[in-house]
Structure 1
């Protein structure tokens, strides 16, 4: 599993590099705070919404601490997607939120 740290994600965003973030946390967690660029797809719905994603794009998965996003990475990799896990998740995120 490929991993990236929250600091590395923040650096990419600061440099205006294209990064496709998917937040797999639950609705109530996302309401508290979310990375502005992230698309919200709860982990429980990810399998049913995979058709919305493009296999030619690399996605970075985000959750609270890195566990659920790790499971999301495994699911998507098994279906041929290019995915990266943001280790530490929102617990370690120090960048801007909405």
Structure 2
């Protein structure tokens, strides 16, 4: 009986994760690195990784608003301008898009593959 309950809990969790993933993908448009480069300078470029990750290297011109602080700092992001998000590998960007959509942002973009796939110029704290 306890094995069956555990199996149901695991299955429910997997269904929740899959539904969340597809919902997040509808909230933002995922761009290739080339598409991302073409537009991020005219937008709000937000790195949603934690400060220690940001200091280790980030895309030139990015602001660090970690996902863990986004709800408290959401007013720093203008809903009338495009928002370009990235994290390490796209998980946190999806959650950030949910928060930003609730705050009125409609034009949200995400870097495909996240920062770990970025081959452009970066800035790192030495």
| Structure 1: 4+ residue segments shifted above 4 A | none
Aligned to 1:6: 33
Corresponding residue SS for 2:121: coil
Over 3 Å counting, the alpha-carbon distance change for 1:65 and 1:51 in structure 2 is: same
Root-mean-square deviation (Å)? 1.5
TM-score (norm 2): 0.69
Q: Indicate whether 1:57 and 2:81 are aligned.
A: yes
Give the superposition deviation at 1:7.
2.5
1:2-37 CA-partner distances (Å, limit 9, x unpaired):
221222222446xxx513210000111111110111
Count of residues in Structure 1 that have an aligned counterpart in Structure 2: 95
Q: Which runs of 5+ in 2 are unaligned?
A: 1-26
Larger Rg: 2
Using CA pairs below 8 Å that are at least 6 residues apart, which structure has the higher relative contact order? Answer: 1
Aligned to 2:110: 85
Over 3 Å counting, the alpha-carbon distance change for 1:35 and 1:4 in structure 2 is: same
Separation in structure 2 between the aligned mates of residue 32 and residue 39 of structure 1, nearest angstrom: 14
